A and B are shown apart, each in its own frame.
Chain A
Amino acid sequence: MANKTENQKAWLFVLPVVLLVAFNALIPLMTVVNYSVQETFGDNVFFWEGVKWFEQVLNSERFHAALLRQFAFTGTILAIEIPLGIAIALTMPRKGPWVPVCLVLMALPLLIPWNVVGAMWNIFALPETGLLGKVINGMGIDYNFTQQPVAAWLTTVLMDVWHWTSLVVLLAYAGLCAIPDAYYQAAKIDGAGGWAVFRYIQLPKLKRVLTIAVLLRFMDSFMIYTEPFVLTGGGPGNTTTFLSIDLVKVALGQFDLGPAAAMSLIYFLIVLLVCWVFYTLMMRNEEA
């Protein structure tokens, strides 16, 4: 511990990153804080409003509804993507010629830009012309994601699962590959079954990568914008208007920069809190 602080020259290596973060994160964040306590009608003219916008956002039913939708969406996709990702990773081969094939197939959805994913799923799920929409309607189920809230939700969730489960798969697969063979040999000697190996060897060893997977997927899905915006435009009505879509509507649609800044700071604090709680809980389990 005592040696930790002795070599201070190493900090110089961090300096470029600090400068970069200052310009792309810190200065914009400071500007947002400045905007959140003022009103502007453009032309760089600002009027002091104090904490009025924070109070307005905190009491706004529209914000509560968007926040609730956001938590529901994030909870749903985490509940699907994490177990599904682990399950797929478990079935993937660890050796042999199929390994690169599986890895490339898994990586493919991650390579597609978000707006393209939205457009693809929009075309794919259209009830009249899309393959998915046509098939579902052909089975006698009334499905139209542009008009039915439940169908819009299902399509959005399905799109996110399709796009991002691969990330969980690749992380879980990397974690599985890092487990030394000795653990499996010991389990075999003890006569452990498949479930026991998963519960007492694989899952504990995956804890760190799964922490990263949950945090990444939480943050990404909590800030999701492009895919649902292209797919449903936040509709029908406001049923798929998540926090970031609502934020953009306030900031750019209505040009209410003050309320939008206050909203984004509350949004930021929620993300920060949930990430800290996740991280702390998972790291505590690690030590236990």
Chain B
Amino acid sequence: MDFSWMAWTWPTIAFFSFVACCLVGMMVWEWKDPGGGPRRGILTLDTTRGDRLFISLLGSAFIFLGWLLVMSTPLWGGLAISLVWIVFVFRYV
């Protein structure tokens, strides 16, 4: 099957593979520890693991956009802040 019309590049394949791995990882986590790990974090939101993944990915997207707007390329600084944000969300939110 020819997918050339989708104009794939290695970075975009890597990006979607990362998202797919996250989803598979969440499934495995759920299988090992069912129930979704619901809790009320410091933002007083009731979240499950899936919610926390959504918040961390959406937040990371905006962190990258913000970095691009303020600091321009390269994006390593944005990546570092995003990783800190993801750890923060999964630990405390």
Instruction: Evaluate contact between A269 and B58: CB separation under 8 angstroms.
Output: yes
The residue that A280 contacts in the complex, of B4, B11, B30, B45, with Cβ under 8 A, is B45
Chain B minimum-CB-distance residue to A6? B34
**Cβ-neighbour of B73 out of A1, A2, A27, A55 (below 8 A):** A55
Q: Taking the nearest CB of chain B, how far is it from the CB of A145, in angstroms?
A: 35
Contact A37 B9 (CB under 8 A): yes
- Among the stretches A45-53, A77-85, A218-226, A234-242, the one at the interface with B is A45-53
The verdict on A38 contacting B7 (CB below 8 Å), with A30-B16, A33-B15 known, is yes
| A58:B58 contact, CB within 8 angstroms | no
For the complex formed, measure the closest distance between the CB of A285 and the CB atoms of chain B, giving whole angstroms. Answer: 12
Cα distance, A235 to B44, chains bound together (Å): 45
* A34 CB within 8 Å of chain B: yes
Task: Find out whether the CB atom of B34 lies under 8 angstroms from the CB atom of A266.
Answer: no
Which label, helix, strand, loop or mixed, suits the secondary structure of the B interface?
helix
Residues on the B chain within 8 Å of A51, using CB: 68, 73, 75
User: Within 8 Å CB of B45, what residues of A?
Assistant: 280, 284
Shortest A133–chain B CB gap in Å is: 42
Q: State whether B7 touches A46 (Cβ < 8 A).
A: yes
A254 contacts chain B at the CB level, 8 A cutoff: no
**Cβ-defined contact, A31 with B7, below 8 A:** yes
Query: B8 near A: Cβ within 8 Å?
Result: yes
Closest Cβ of chain B to A221, distance in Å, is 21
Decide if A5 is an interface residue (CB 8 Å cutoff): yes
Measured CB to CB, the nearest residue on chain B to A31 is B6
A146 contacts chain B at the CB level, 8 A cutoff:
no
Please determine whether B65 and A50 come into contact, CB atoms closer than 8 angstroms. no
Contact of A44 among B5, B8, B54, B75 (CB under 8 A): B5
Residues of A within 8 A of B61 (CB): 269
Q: In the complex, which residues 20-72 of chain B have their Cβ closer than 8 Å to any Cβ of chain A?
A: 30, 34-35, 44-46, 54-55, 58, 61-62, 65, 68-69, 72
In this complex, which of A30, A54, A284 has the most chain B Cβ atoms within 10 angstroms of its Cβ? A30
A-B contact pairs, 15 of them (CB 8 A): A4-B34, A30-B16, A31-B6, A33-B12, A34-B12, A38-B7, A44-B4, A55-B68, A55-B72, A58-B69, A269-B58, A269-B65, A272-B58, A276-B58, A280-B45
